[in-house]
Structure 1
Amino acid sequence: MDAMPEFNRESGFAGESGAVKIQERLQKRHQARAEDAERRKEAKESKSVAEEQGEYFCSSFYTERASIEELLSGCSGADRAAVALLLEEVTARTLQLQKFLNDSTLFLTQYELRKAQDALQKLQSSLAEAREEALPRKKFAFRARAKATDKAPAADAPPPDAGAPADSGGAKVDGAAESVQCSFSNMDSVCLTKTAEEIQKRDVLLTHLTNCKVRLFGSPSTLHLKHIDSCEILCGPVSSSVFIDHCRNSTLAIPCQQLRTHHTTDTKVYLHVTSRAIIEDCRGVSFAPFSWSYPTLEEDYAVSGLDQGRNNWSQVDDFNWLAAGTHSPNWSVIPEVSIHIADQFIYAAAVC
């Protein structure tokens, strides 16, 4: 029998080489379909895993938060020694809850992340209020200057130091008492410094500062910045969260676990953050890696517990910008050339 001929227009048959080519095309098509099915399967499994992780996080996070709140409620009516022990345990567990949240940010939705951060912030505020109520720090205030008609002070009484900043646990912000242990407020065009010994893992509040240079050495527990205008603020590693509200025309250098920024404009942030930074109602905010250095920085990192090898300074979530795949116009990355110039400036600005 003669060999089968090549493909012929009239007969419509293909030769052996044509059959091989058809078989190859069928195999490639089958392989492509199999790969597509595998990708769909992996995507479905990945989505399922993320949903399971989210469900596990929510269950674990809110169960632990409720447990901490119950423990915190035990402070009411207890003696001072018992309250001190309870607050110590609550503080440790709250920090662990903060770390759990930071480690879970990669698979949480923006809604889940925002809800959990709000819940954690309320818990931290409750802890600060309970500490202030049960173990209040001594209030320190400067006596007002005596009026001309008042009786003159005794000869051996030291004059009030009117130039020193108020630093108390009862600072007020917008008419509301803030439970903080270190603070500078209502200052204009001055240089302000807190040493590591003064901070000692306390909550720090800076509010209503204009044209000020602030240097915070050591490791604060939390840092609150409110109503900051045209300031330079350099801070050592913050062991938990930094909250910024109504800041403009300023330069900030901060390492922390979590950063939440509200109502802030035209501000540069040199950042080390181990979770993802969050901005809301902001514009003109720019970010670069944290670059401040001072002699005890490594020791302060150790005290704070921050992971120096993990910095998500450019991973910013804008809660006012929900267009997927499109960069928010409200924040930007500081150009590399500007970063080098700023590095030199910040290094020179280690002290006022």
Structure 2
Amino acid sequence: MDEALEVGDKLDTGADKVQERLQKRHQARIEDVERRKEAKESQSVAEEKGEYFYSAFNKERAAVEELLSGCSGADRATMTHRLEEATDRIGQLQKFLNDSVLFLTQYDLRQAQAALQKLQSTLAEMREDALPKKKFAFKVRTKAADKASVTPAPNPDADTPAAAGGTKRDGATASEQYGFSNMSDVLVTRTAEEIQKQDVLLTHLTNCKVRLLGSPSTLHLKHIDSCEILCGPVSSSVFIDHCRNSTLAFPCQQLRTHHTTDTQVYLHVTSRAIIEDCRGVSFAPFSWSYPSLEEDFSVSGLDKNRNNWNQVDDFNWLAAGTPSPNWMVIPEADRKTNWDTEN
């Protein structure tokens, strides 16, 4: 009798274990189905967001293109108004793209960026052709005239070209272009009164130190060699092309960097940084400071609490899950902190 009971207990225990295994297997299948369902729903949502983005983006892009084409043959007042409106709408289109980067693929993001850059280039060309600024000629300045803004560095006897700046156009409130080029071995400082809300272009600078105190609309750096360039908050984009062996620092909404090598970028960016055809580029959080920085942040409209300085998209490195070898984060111990006290 006891043996029969013992056998019965064993059978019950075995049956319980089999039932437990079946229940676990069933639960695992349910969970797997739920995971697949969630993944499918997530993919569907991303695809719907992507479809909505491209529909809205292309519709607005076409509207801006039509607005620009309407400038042909228009009188000066109408043309000025249209170019101002196009500037505002391109800015909104840029913000729309920045807010959508999380669900766009790298390829789709690159295509949208290229389309937007083409719009910006067309706008700049039309503004230059239709509303030309006064012509400025470079000339040799006296040392007394240079002291306020251009201080010779290692070579005090070198001739220093004057900076080229814009003046207000008749009734125009759109951003204007201001800048300087073909300089070497100089310290250049510009105040908010000179660069505020302007498109700033710096080209062909070698071994220079540049301080831009203010909030420009955009910043373009081209053919920069062995320079240190520090800038206040840029309300929209910073474009870098052919820069080498330099140190840069600025806050901005968007950063696009091309053909740049061995350069450090101290960055505050509210979207994501983009590099292409670059190597040896390194990043750290923006750390430069000057007395009116807080005021300039307010003028720029940038969010001080949103900084994606280490979120970098390399368009030459699309291997998912593998870090790009073309950029790195600057170790904390190696980051520059005393900007204006070092030689």
State TM-score, norm by structure 1. 0.84
| Distance in 2 of aligned mates of 1:289 and 1:54 | 31
Partner of 2:58: 62
The answer on whether the counterparts of 1:141 and 1:166 sit within 8 Å (CA) in structure 2 is no
- Is residue 2:240 matched to residue 1:247? no
Residue 300 (1) aligns with residue 319 (2): no
The amino acid of 1:213's aligned partner reads K
The structural deviation recorded for 1:21 is 2.2
Amino acid of the structure 2 residue aligned with 1:261: T
Q: CA deviation at 1:135?
A: 2.1
Q: State the shift of 1:134 in Å.
A: 2.4
Question: Which whole-Å CA distance do the structure 2 matches of 1:180 and 1:266 have between them?
Answer: 31
Check conservation: 2:233, 2:296, Cα contact below 8 A.
yes
Q: Which one-letter code corresponds to 2:125 in the other structure?
A: E
Mapped contact 1:271–1:290 kept (Cα < 8 A):
yes
Secondary structure of 1:260's counterpart equals strand
**1:174-222 alpha-carbon deviations (Å, 9 max, x no partner):** xxxxx96111111101011221111121111111111000111211111
Secondary structure in 2 matching 1:257: strand
Match of 1:163 among 160, 170, 173: 160
SS of corresponding position for 2:136 = coil
Which amino acid in 2 is paired with 1:233?
A: I
Tell me what 1:175 maps to.
Answer: none
Equivalence map 1:250-265=2 (5 Å): 250-265=246-261
Deviations 1:302-332 (A, max 9, x none): 2222121111111111111122111111110
Shift of 1:116: 0.8
Q: Match for 2:108 among 112, 116, 137? A: 112
Aligned to 1:157: none
Give, in angstroms, the shift of residue 15 of structure 1. 2.4
TM-score (structure 2 length as normaliser)? 0.86
**In the aligned structure 1, how far is the partner of 2:106 from the partner of 2:61?**
20
Partner of 1:182: 178
1:331 aligns with 2:327: yes
* Map of 1:86 onto structure 2: 82
Q: Which amino acid aligns with 1:346?
A: W
Offset at residue 16 of structure 1 (A)? 2.0
Distance 1:347 1:101, change over 3 A: farther
Structure 1: unaligned runs, 5 residues or longer: 146-161, 170-178
Amino acid corresponding to residue 311 of structure 2 in structure 1: Q
SS in 1 for 2:102: coil
1:257 deviates by: 1.3
**Cα gap change, 1:7 to 1:325, in 2 (>3 Å):** farther
CA positional deviation for 1:19: 2.0
For 1:218 and 1:144, how far apart are their aligned partners in 2?
A: 26
1:197-249 CA-partner distances (Å, limit 9, x unpaired): 11121111111111000111211111111111110000111111111111111
Q: Within the alignment, does 1:30 sit opposite 2:26 as a pair? A: yes
| Offset from partner CA, 1:39-87 (integer Å, 9 cap, x none) | 1111111111111111111111111011011112222222222222222
Letter in 2 for 1:130: M
Gaps of 5+ in 2: 142-158, 167-174
CA separation of 1:168 and 1:21: change in aligned 2, threshold 3 A? same
Matching of residues 259-298 of structure 1 within 5 Å: 259-298=255-294
In 2, the alpha carbon distance for the partners of 1:51 and 1:7 equals 60
Please state if 1:103 is matched with 2:99. yes
After the TM superposition, which residues 29-48 of structure 1 pair with which residues of structure 2 at under 5 Å, given as runs?
A: 29-48=25-44
Given that 2:140 and 2:162 are in contact with CA atoms closer than 8 Å, whether structure 1 keeps it comes out as no
Cα distance between partner residues in 1 of 2:324 and 2:99: 24
Note closer, same or farther for the CA distance 1:294–1:29 as it changes in structure 2 (3 Å cut). Answer: same
* AA in 1 matched with 2:112: A
Query: Is 1:122 matched with 2:118?
Result: yes
Q: Tell whether the 8 Å contact from 2:217 to 2:236 is kept in structure 1 after alignment.
A: yes
SS of 1:15 mapped into structure 2: helix
Cα deviation digits, residues 259-306 of structure 1 (max 9, x gap):
111111111000111111111111111001111111221221222221
Q: In structure 2, do the counterparts of structure 1 residues 347 and 5 end up closer, same or farther at CA, with 3 Å as the change threshold?
A: farther
SS at match of 1:337: helix
Instruction: Give 1:50's aligned amino acid.
Output: A
Asked if the contact 1:258/1:274 (under 8 Å) is kept, the reply is yes
Partner Cα distance (1:119, 1:347) in 2: 39
Structure 1 runs of 4+ off > 3 angstroms?
1-8, 142-145
Contact 2:140 2:161 in 1 (8 A): no
Say which is worse superposed, 77-86 or 280-289, in terms of deviation: 77-86
Change (3 A) 1:76 1:16: same
Distance 1:266 1:180, change over 3 A: farther
- Closer, same or farther in 2 for the Cα pair 1:26/1:181, shift >3 Å? same
* Counterpart Cα distance in 2 of 1:261 and 1:75: 31
* Per-residue Cα deviation, 1:92-115 (whole angstroms, up to 9, x for no partner): 111111100000001111111111
Q: Among the aligned pairs, what percent are the same residue?
A: 75
Partner of 1:152 in structure 2? none
Q: Could you tell me how far apart the structure 2 residues matched to 1:333 and 1:46 are?
A: 31
Matched, 1:208 2:204: yes
Counterparts in 2 of 1:26 and 1:208: CA distance versus 1, 3 Å? same
Q: Which residue of 2 aligns with 1:346?
A: 339
* Structural RMSD (CA): 2.3
CA displacement at 1:7 relative to structure 2: 5.5
